[in-house]
Amino acid sequence: MALNHDSYRIGWICALPIEMAAARILFDERHPSLPQPPTDTNSYALGKIQSHNVVMACLPSGVYGTTSAAVVAKQMSTTFPGLSFGLMVGIGGGVPLISRSSSDVRLGDVVVGIPQNSLGGVVAYDYGKTIADGNFLRTGSLNHPPWSLLTAVSNIRSLYLLGQGRIGDILNQIIAECPDFRSPGPDHDQLLDASSDPDLPVDKRPVKQRPTRSSDAPHVHYGTIASGNRLIKHAKTRDELAAKYDILCFEMEAAGLMDLEHFPCLVIRGISDYADEFKAKEWQPYAAAAAAAYTKELISMIPRDQLREEARNSVSNTPSAEACATSSSIPYGLLHQVFPVEDNFLGSLTTNALWPRQNFHALPAPPSQSQFIVNVQQRSHTIKISVASHTSFSAIVDIKRRGDPDVDRTIRVDRSSSCMLKNSNDWFEEMCTRRNTRKWMEKQLIRSSERIYLVVGFRSLWHRDISSIQADSHNGSNSLPCLGEAVYAVQYREVKFRWFRRRDVDAARLQRRNCWQSLFTDRGDESDDEVENYLEATLNEDIGEASTTEVPHT
């Protein structure tokens, strides 16, 4: 069966080329590349590991940090919509044994970020605020890895307790193909004494003595990984942060991935240095190979059918019955062209229901993930549009307006989705508390008498392939593939206004968020009780008369 974007279940992200090189060696099969939408700037390696199809990507050279990682993951999950989870695999700075209760982390070992205490496996140690006494208070928390990966981690840990781990064998496979990934050896694993005089040159500081290990195979440690945009190269700072959050490893990308909605992630790091002043690159190849070897072993613990089931159930963000009932009475209006989903006009006000970006007003911050619901329909749907009944679709499916308008079209999509506000009334009333929003609405209402609509939902398509068939011809069909996600229909609720005279407005009504005194003086003398200069804005239950075309559900 031919592979497509929806065939891949695991996303593997690296920060450095050396990490990507180690990972590529572990493909059991290599797949040809697939086309990408122009909005996706990633470069992918595709293949199979065990029974799973895996897509790999590396951060742009020289551009590291949490933001860069988030961009790569976001583009990957959009281009490959079937991904069940992500893996952030590469090198990191280890926290050596600083107390009897801490782990004996050494160069070449592997650290896996799993939930511990109140943390989800990764802590953004540099995200927070400085409080009154000058101390830094970390704020917020990051999600834990997906359950499917955590159960696989439990399985692999039990094997290691029985002495049946395979990381050494897989590591040897990498080294056999590329000897540059060999270990520098324990003689090159030097740990500086962090308690020594900080003014001493690095080469003059005493080295801590540690017991010799019985095996050269990497040890695997489980706990909290610290992530931030600041490179840690200071032993004292390392130890202070490690003691505060019980950290085993420092790195610079994972915090950008852990809260991404469509990229639940596990972080795996090979230890290439001790995050101290003696930071060097000698151990990077071996550490990258060790992390990749553990990752392949972990992937082998995950049943193939489990990821298939997760992909089928990726509608887990399906709207509640109450939300569906609220929105089901509001049809979707077809737009006059498709829009990139990045335009993100959910929750914005517009005066043009067919071109929602032509004259619109939006809040500085779009709705957060807790304020909207996404319902995804997976696995290749087909929408058939007949020109006889849906002539406006000729502009939707064919952005460049090619071909004859008297043509029936079939749109095949990898997946489709609908996105809607959970509580559009509450969202709108909150907008009405803002002076800029009130002013914008009054301008449209008074100066141009425009209708105003709130965007409460939209429908989008992924990787659509449009076939055009002449209704009275047997000449076959023309296909127009379009990659990426595009919005093609929008749900609106029309805003209704009511003007009041001062004498008709009681104190209780003025306390409402959607009722205010007009901001414009041309409504007349505000002391005149006969002048209607108080305004109340509410949402209609219907779409209004701007667009009555209903969109077929996919």
* Domain parsing of the chain, residue ranges: 89-305, 319-539
DSSP state letter for 251: E
User: Residue 129's pLDDT is what?
Assistant: 39
Tokens 């959009």 belong to 78
User: Residue 352's pLDDT is what?
Assistant: 78
User: Residue 268's pLDDT is what?
Assistant: 96
Amino acid identity at 108: G
Cβ neighbours around 294 below 10 Å, total: 26
Asked: is 89-305 a CATH 3.40.50 domain? The reply is yes
Q: Cα dihedral angle (273, 278, 279, 283), rounded to 10 degrees? A: -50
User: Residue 92's pLDDT is what?
Assistant: 94
Q: Which two tokens stand for residue 176?
A: 């056999």
Q: How distant is the alpha carbon of residue 213 from its chain centre?
A: 41
8 Å CB contact between 157 and 222 = yes
User: Residue 379's pLDDT is what?
Assistant: 43
pTM comes to 0.59
8 Å CB contact between 206 and 196 = yes
Q: What is the pLDDT along the chain (554 residues), one digit of tens a residue?
A: 689 998 999 999 999 999 999 999 999 999 999 999 888 999 999 999 999 999 999 999 888 777 788 889 989 988 998 898 999 999 999 998 765 556 889 999 999 999 887 778 888 876 543 334 445 444 444 677 888 899 999 999 999 999 999 999 999 999 999 999 999 999 898 887 766 666 677 666 777 888 888 888 899 999 999 988 788 888 888 888 888 888 999 998 887 787 666 688 999 999 999 988 877 789 999 999 999 999 999 999 998 776 755 544 443 333 333 333 344 446 666 676 677 776 767 888 888 777 777 778 888 777 776 666 666 654 444 444 443 333 333 333 433 333 444 445 556 666 677 788 888 888 898 899 999 999 888 888 876 667 888 888 888 876 666 555 444 444 444 545 566 677 877 888 889 888 887 667 666 666 788 888 887 755 445 455 556 678 889 988 654 443 333 443 33
User: Residue 364's pLDDT is what?
Assistant: 74
Q: Which two tokens stand for residue 503?
A: 């004498």
Beta-carbon contacts of 411 under 8 Å, excluding residues fewer than 6 positions away, are 382, 383, 384, 385, 397, 461, 464, 465, 466, 467
